[in-house]
Structure 1
Amino acid sequence: MVLSEPCERINQIRKEIQKGDTKKALLEFINLVEFVKDAPLRDKLITLIARFENNSEDERIALITQENSQSIINQINNSALGYANDFENKYCKSSNKNEQKNPGNLSDYPDLIGFKKELEEITSFLKNGIRWVVLHGHGGVGKTRIAIQVAKDIRNEFDDGIWLIELDKIKTAEQVPWAISKTLAIKETSDDSADEQLFQFLSTKKMLLILDNLEHITGAADFIKTLLQRCRTIQLIVTSRKLIRSNLGWAQNYFINSLEFPYPTPKDKPMPPAEWIKETLELERLSQYDAVKLFIHTARRIDQKFDLSTENAAAIAEICYRLEGLALAVELAAANVNRFDSPLKLLQNLSLNDFDREPGNGRQKTMSATIEWSYRLLTTGEKQLFRFLSVFKGGFTESSALKISEKTELILKNVKDMLDSLVENNLISKDKKQGRTRYRMHNLIKEFAYKRLIEHKEQGMLLKRHTECYLAQVEAAEKVITSSHQNDSLQVLEEEHANLRTALEWSLSYKGKEEFALRIAGSLFWFWNLQSHFSEGRMYVEKALQARNSLTAARAKALYCAGGLAFLQGDMTTSNRHLTESESIWRSLNPSPEHQRGLAFTLVILSQVKVDQGESMEGLTQIKESELIFENLNDSWGLALALNDHGNVLRSKGEYQAALHYYNRGLGLWKELQDPWGLPLTLSNIGFVASLMQDYKESQRCLNEALEYQRNVADNWGLAETLKCLGDVEIHLGQYQNARENYCESMKLNRVTGRKQLLVACLEGLCIVAHALQETEQAALLFVTTDFLRDSIGLFKNLTDNALNEKYESARKNYTGAAALRPAETRTRKTLEEITDYALSFGKEV
């Protein structure tokens, strides 16, 4: 097939969609069908065209004229763009596997220098079925970079991607599943533990995970064994300074030696002087040593004209020899080449006492000596800043470095220049993503710097400054998050996640600073909530509450946080207890605006808890009071949230018209604020109530509008819920193909969010679709699968739409006979992934 014409048509389709000309876009799709030989994709295109053709004449005219038809146009345009991407990925991309994009987070890493033999052997292990490869060796030898290069080389073997999981930011084995889930963007739910949710997600994934820096986590090996036993199609590369023993047949330890470096022969001679190397090694031969290649590569980052020559070859060879080919040590030395007139002068500056030993007899000492040597080359101020930076976890910003350096005059005026100097000397690295610059320090270098911090008796002062820095940041961020600018703040806090943990742990362990822990935890509620870090948040806030019992605003806010997180995890008893105590403390304090705002937020969640516990009238009283407080404070964001939840209370009482009144008031405020989270939240609620009132066209309009916002802000949690609701509405409208697509998209998103109740709801909708389309065998399978999942999670009834529930039960009666269900029962899926895969395959068959 000649690809140029259809690929040009894809570009034309995008242009027509962007211009809003749906008719032309669909005509282009019709022209594409003849080029498509892939049956599933061909069926997608035909389905898209049919969706246009099957509309009524009035709807088709509306589509063409684009009058009063925005929701239909948006729906078809969204599908059209998705199908355009599918087509382009299938037919318009290069057939070269190395050029295809794969899921994962390793795209920014440069190719590795050296270790050819090691790369080949490790790759062979993985390709031959070894599922757990442990790379162990001295710090600074290059274990992480080798693991990354192996993963990049075989990325096409893993359909679900290759992922680097950085474990240096965590301390306990219990945090390992959190670290993996965070990297894979698995949102936590109330249904399962973090471990179980991770196992469910990975159970059918073809994926390679790199668990980096495992040596300090006691008990992590036991978790890894369970992970590999539960998830049979994933493979692991683990890096560790220590050997990890395992009796599993599909595990392999592999020792990483240093880079190949110039070595005297015979080996029993004393360490050769530079002159001996000069006489023995030819220039061309010397340039083939991996350690020499790395030295030259690093030096060229400082001086682009730097090269190996007859004048510097002997010195470079001896430097690599003295540093025993340790990758990090070679990079540190080469990064300082500009401080000296020549590599020979650099060599002479290296301490002979520190490096005068036979290679292999003390590599960790060699690495430490190299870092010590680099440290001694710094100015007094640079040394001090270098030590200070060791308190950060997971990186830091220039602003944070400045804040912890307050009252330190040697640093304060020159932080940026000093950071640049440390980057040039390879003591820290610099990275820029999404317009934000962050710095990082290699773990081995950080350990050295932290020891110097302790030696200078600066540790306590710096940890206090670090905690104060992040306390100020989270308190400021909370105010921004509860506004229309939350996305950037949430992302910034996510980047600082490891530092937030460090600040919490220090304030919990340092006597007299427990109030800091309460303040930090209380201010992190919206971060833990919107980023779905429920269990972690509850653990820290409960510790903070136990550490200090006081009638203060900090405790009231921490109780609000604990109660809110418990509510989100469905623990209504704990939520009610914490929120009730929070309310009591807020009322006992002076009625300052800050205290009143805290009370109002507490009452918002408490009202929802009361509704869940069957106390709707009390919940109504509480939500009304919160509204009044927000109005008096002129707090539009809080008021919009309260109005939304007032609608929820009234909806639970069946007072739909009254609920719409409050939802619409809240929606007006969200629009004024242009809030990307609040707008779709309330729009979805309006759409749901319209559906309950059987105004399905209005419901469809609102839900489609909510989808647009949720897609723009990548709100997968809310998006999955809205897609499910939209599928329900489309069943009522008889738009079964549309319903099927939306249920399937919701379930795909639910692979990450893992909400079993939502999956049951989507499966129930697909049961109705299969029955309506007379796909009897698939319907039987879906009904049995749905019943199995519902029973396994103890869910008696899921559909809250009574009209939809009637359709479900009516259809279910056709599949209750033993004869109808017997073949289906033998094929019932057992895991969430198997259930989702089957449901999605049905979606493709329809």
Structure 2
Amino acid sequence: MYARELPAEATSFVGRRQELALLDTCLRQARLVTLTGPGGVGKTRTAVRGAHLLRARFPDGVTLVPLSALADPRLLPNTVAAALDLPEQAALPAQDALAAYLQDKTALLILDTCEHLVDACAVLAEELLRAAPQLRVVATSRQPLDVAGEHILPIPPLDVADSGPAEDALRLFTDRAAAAVPGFAVDDDNRADVRALCRRLDGIPLAIELAVSRLRVLSPEEMLTRLDHRFRLLTGGRRTAVPRHQTLRTTIGWSYELSTEPERLLWSRLAVCAGEFSLEVAEAVGAAGALPAEDVLDALIGLVEKSVVVRVDAEDGTRYRMLDTIREYGLERLGPGAEAERTRRRHRDHFLRRARLFDAEWLGDRQVPLLRQMVRDQDDIRVALEFCVADPADAAAGLKMATMLWGFWHCTGLLTEGRYWLRRALDRCPEERRERVKALWLTCWFMDLQGERGDTFALLDEAEAVALRIDDRAGLAWTRAFRHHTRYFRGRTEGVAEGFEAARRELAEQGDTAGLLMSGFFAGFFHVLNGGTGEGIALCEDSLRRNADTPAELWSRGWALWVKSIGLWLKGEHRESIECARQGIRTKAVLHDLTGIAHFLEGFAWRAAELRHFERVAALQGAADALWRRAVKEPRFGISVLHDLHAGAAGEAREALGNDGYETAFGEGGRLPVDAAVALALDDEAAPAAAAVPPQPPGPGDGLTPRQRQVAGLVAQGLTNREIAEKLVISKRTVDAHVEHILARFGFTSRAQIPAALSGPPPAPRD
């Protein structure tokens, strides 16, 4: 054998740095390495590239054995022998001849495309490795060979990250496009479309190369609009490619043909799942008729082994997913008929049951795991809701599901999406029922939170009328509570206190613990904003007492703590307020409740202003603003008391830092990850005194803000910008901005001139 028998690479090799390094490591530790992955993902290219890089370690040669065209497993030893250029020996079986030939060789054998011959390849590999102790075998297959000592190396699709040097899918598209269409380039005008195209193609190299071939007639934007029919779009390809790689459909169809009948049935049924799914979902959706529930696990294992389904390790256990291209193929196989209808209904019924469980236990100790499960299942929740609202016959189920998910919509900040599904379900299901009452007051509540001042009273009027006609006493009490909620959100205070008290009596008569718990901090918020801080705090403490039996319930506890912290602040008990906020923001951080975190960040900014930590004020307000904008249209609910507290802290910070300094720190805060913003808030009390801007006497350097004079003084002492940042506990970027402002203020060209601004009359600014 000679290295020349390894095929030369006809096109440039893109990416796979990590996989190639792992292949090197695996071949040092194991003698059989199988590269697995879905069709078209690049297993062969990776194996060949790795062999080129490693061939110096194999003095007796590296040989590629293509197996895609081989149909008869009995001819496998003959095919390998032919690749090694061994003469046929009539007296000796080919497998024995191979073993004899390789027994003293330090060689690498690549068995390429083993999935349709997996048993034969497993037997041959095991026999050859036993006979030849220095032999290494690399196999490429959509499923493992399942041989003792085999090391599995999954080859995933190319990276389709939004940015960064590791975005290999975009690099592959750019490289192939330059060769296919002279003059084509990925630039600022089309980069977003190309990136979206690569993402929609799952980062599968074959799909990307087929898409590139369409650039001769379609732009990336035009291809994006046609991707719902990707199998018709992505046909053709290189004439020299094996037939199964000439279209995307045939490469995936190859896997379908190799699957058993139960695996094919499960594949098509699981295609209705839009996101990751659990074994429980697979059984609920996939089990029916010819595929009983007890056979689903075996079929799922088979699909995972064939790289049709990808295993995902999650916090709550193993989950699974399909690439979009594989899912779309499964949907085509499922078809539009009765089988598809029954499968989609099983899917809907499963997630309707999940929504019912979520609603029943949302304000209990299972809140956090239930919420995380719903977040992971969000794509499938949308599919189930769409199934309901698409057909008036199922609209009642859609209305139930949308209302039962109110806690999910609120906690995740998906208020607009929640309103979207509530409105569609209301339009589809005009019947007078309890779910309609709830959907109407939920819509009103979400509009209040988002600062939308539409005709919400009309929604409440309808909800109250329906509740009276169908004798829905609980719905009537909730509706009346939210009528007063809406009134004070619009600045109407007359009768609100009495209205809340009456609604709470009705909820108590109904034994509605959740209603009493939530109306406590709703009513408490009204009181603290309208001079009744003591009564408002007492109502919040009542909610916290009701919550005491469910210590793992964090959502309502967090809101009660927030309202209480506002009341304490307005009473002048600032330390107690911030301690309350510390407890509260931790609850919201666990839930990843972005709107709740934004509320608490505001209070920490007020405290930072009191401590004269002005960069911290701006950064906290910037972080809060970024979170507000993700969920609501008007920060702080448009409530004047909260606006005034925000403006007061911001005004002090602007005066101390100057507009440029404030805006720089505000922008930095807005770019903080959520956990970093929470950490910044919780570190507020621990901030060293150096972070505060001490009062500065007038003198040289007037015209600068106090912080800029402080920075200038440290520059005069010879400190670098980074050293100044560390001393003042601010970012270097903020120091850079201050220094640039000082230079511009006096027309200086270098930092060395700054001491002059402090030691005497400031020079006149340069023209």
Q: What TM-score, normalized to structure 1?
A: 0.52
Q: What is the rounded CA distance, in whole Å, between the counterparts of 1:556 and 1:145 in structure 2?
A: 59
1:654 maps to 531
Q: What is the rounded CA distance, in whole Å, between the counterparts of 1:757 and 1:839 in structure 2?
A: 29
Q: Counterpart of 2:549 in 1: which secondary structure? A: helix
Amino acid of the structure 2 residue aligned with 1:736: R
Map 1:693-772 → 2, pairs under 5 A: 693-729=571-607, 731-732=609-610, 735-737=611-613, 741=616, 744-745=619-620, 747-748=622-623, 750-754=625-629, 757=635, 764-769=648-653, 771=655
1:390 Cα offset (Å): 1.6
Map 1:346-745 → 2, pairs under 5 A: 359-360=240-241, 362-363=243-244, 368-369=249-250, 371-372=252-253, 374-376=255-257, 378-405=259-286, 408=289, 410-454=291-335, 457-591=338-472, 596-674=473-551, 675-729=553-607, 731-732=609-610, 735-737=611-613, 741=616, 744-745=619-620
1:142 maps to 41
Q: Counterpart of 2:494 in 1: which secondary structure? A: helix
Amino acid of the structure 1 residue aligned with 2:544: L
Q: Counterpart of 2:40 in 1: which secondary structure? A: coil
CA change 1:784–1:381 in 2 (3 A) is closer
Q: Quick check: 2:664–2:737 contact (8 Å CA) kept in 1? A: no
1:433 Cα offset (Å): 0.8
Between the aligned residues of both structures, percent identity stands at 18
Q: What is the rounded CA distance, in whole Å, between the counterparts of 1:507 and 1:463 in structure 2?
A: 10
Amino acid of the structure 2 residue aligned with 1:657: G
Q: Counterpart of 1:117 in 2: which secondary structure? A: coil
Q: What is the rounded CA distance, in whole Å, between the counterparts of 1:366 and 1:337 in structure 2?
A: 29
Deviations 1:772-809 (A, max 9, x none): xxx5xx23546799999xxxxxxxxxxxxxxxxxxxxx
Q: What is the rounded CA distance, in whole Å, between the counterparts of 2:242 and 2:11 in structure 1?
A: 24
1:704 Cα offset (Å): 3.0
Q: Counterpart of 2:292 in 1: which secondary structure? A: helix
1:459 Cα offset (Å): 0.7
Q: Quick check: 2:269–2:334 contact (8 Å CA) kept in 1? A: yes
Q: What is the rounded CA distance, in whole Å, between the counterparts of 1:748 and 1:115 in structure 2?
A: 50
1:492 Cα offset (Å): 0.9
CA change 1:547–1:391 in 2 (3 A) is same
Q: Quick check: 2:64–2:83 contact (8 Å CA) kept in 1? A: no
Residue of 768, 774, 779 corresponding to 2:658: 779
CA change 1:444–1:719 in 2 (3 A) is closer
Q: Quick check: 1:741–1:843 contact (8 Å CA) kept in 2? A: no
Deviates more, 1:449-458 or 1:654-663: 449-458
Q: What is the rounded CA distance, in whole Å, between the counterparts of 2:617 and 2:666 in structure 1?
A: 21
1:614 Cα offset (Å): 3.1
Is residue 119 from structure 1 mapped to residue 18 from structure 2 by the alignment?
no
Amino acid of the structure 2 residue aligned with 1:117: S
Deviates more, 1:357-366 or 1:413-422: 357-366
Deviates more, 1:502-511 or 1:450-459: 450-459
Deviations 1:241-288 (A, max 9, x none): xxxxxxxxxxxxxxxxxxx97679xxxxxxx99846633447899957
Q: What is the rounded CA distance, in whole Å, between the counterparts of 1:839 and 1:651 in structure 2?
A: 40
Q: What is the rounded CA distance, in whole Å, between the counterparts of 1:588 and 1:842 in structure 2?
A: 66
1:392 Cα offset (Å): 1.0
CA change 1:687–1:309 in 2 (3 A) is same
Amino acid of the structure 2 residue aligned with 1:679: R
Q: What is the rounded CA distance, in whole Å, between the counterparts of 2:393 and 2:430 in structure 1?
A: 12
Q: Counterpart of 1:432 in 2: which secondary structure? A: strand
CA change 1:839–1:274 in 2 (3 A) is closer
1:665 Cα offset (Å): 1.3
CA change 1:121–1:397 in 2 (3 A) is closer
Q: What is the rounded CA distance, in whole Å, between the counterparts of 1:710 and 1:840 in structure 2?
A: 30
Q: Quick check: 2:605–2:620 contact (8 Å CA) kept in 1? A: no
Q: What is the rounded CA distance, in whole Å, between the counterparts of 2:324 and 2:479 in structure 1?
A: 42
Q: Quick check: 1:710–1:719 contact (8 Å CA) kept in 2? A: yes
Q: What is the rounded CA distance, in whole Å, between the counterparts of 1:764 and 1:656 in structure 2?
A: 20
Deviates more, 1:549-558 or 1:499-508: 549-558
Deviations 1:668-713 (A, max 9, x none): 2223332212223222222211221223333233223334434454
1:841 maps to 734
1:476 Cα offset (Å): 1.8
Q: Quick check: 2:352–2:401 contact (8 Å CA) kept in 1? A: yes
Residue of 64, 82, 107 corresponding to 1:279: 82
Q: What is the rounded CA distance, in whole Å, between the counterparts of 1:559 and 1:460 in structure 2?
A: 30
CA change 1:662–1:263 in 2 (3 A) is closer
CA change 1:119–1:604 in 2 (3 A) is farther
Deviations 1:113-140 (A, max 9, x none): x9993326999xxxxxxxxxxxxxxx94
Q: What is the rounded CA distance, in whole Å, between the counterparts of 2:281 and 2:433 in structure 1?
A: 28
CA change 1:500–1:659 in 2 (3 A) is same
Map 1:311-326 → 2, pairs under 5 A: none
1:450 Cα offset (Å): 2.2
Q: Counterpart of 1:672 in 2: which secondary structure? A: coil
Q: What is the rounded CA distance, in whole Å, between the counterparts of 1:359 and 1:310 in structure 2?
A: 33
CA change 1:475–1:598 in 2 (3 A) is farther
Q: Quick check: 2:364–2:550 contact (8 Å CA) kept in 1? A: yes
Q: Quick check: 1:640–1:670 contact (8 Å CA) kept in 2? A: yes
Amino acid of the structure 2 residue aligned with 1:590: D
1:362 Cα offset (Å): 4.2
Q: What is the rounded CA distance, in whole Å, between the counterparts of 2:648 and 2:335 in structure 1?
A: 61
Amino acid of the structure 2 residue aligned with 1:279: A
Specify every segment of 5 or more residues in structure 2 that has no aligned partner in the other structure, as ranges: 1-8, 19-37, 47-62, 68-74, 86-101, 133-137, 148-237, 637-641, 668-694, 709-729, 740-767
Q: Quick check: 1:397–1:439 contact (8 Å CA) kept in 2? A: yes
Amino acid of the structure 2 residue aligned with 1:386: W
1:335 Cα offset (Å): 4.1
CA change 1:442–1:729 in 2 (3 A) is closer
Q: What is the rounded CA distance, in whole Å, between the counterparts of 1:557 and 1:437 in structure 2?
A: 36
Q: Quick check: 1:690–1:699 contact (8 Å CA) kept in 2? A: yes
Q: Quick check: 2:615–2:662 contact (8 Å CA) kept in 1? A: no
CA change 1:374–1:695 in 2 (3 A) is closer
Q: Quick check: 1:727–1:743 contact (8 Å CA) kept in 2? A: yes
Higher relative contact order (CA 8 A, sep 6+): 1
Q: What TM-score, normalized to structure 2?
A: 0.56
Q: What is the rounded CA distance, in whole Å, between the counterparts of 1:840 and 1:748 in structure 2?
A: 17
Amino acid of the structure 1 residue aligned with 2:582: N
CA change 1:363–1:697 in 2 (3 A) is same
Q: What is the rounded CA distance, in whole Å, between the counterparts of 1:698 and 1:651 in structure 2?
A: 15
Q: Which has the larger radius of gyration?
A: 2
Q: Quick check: 2:585–2:597 contact (8 Å CA) kept in 1? A: yes
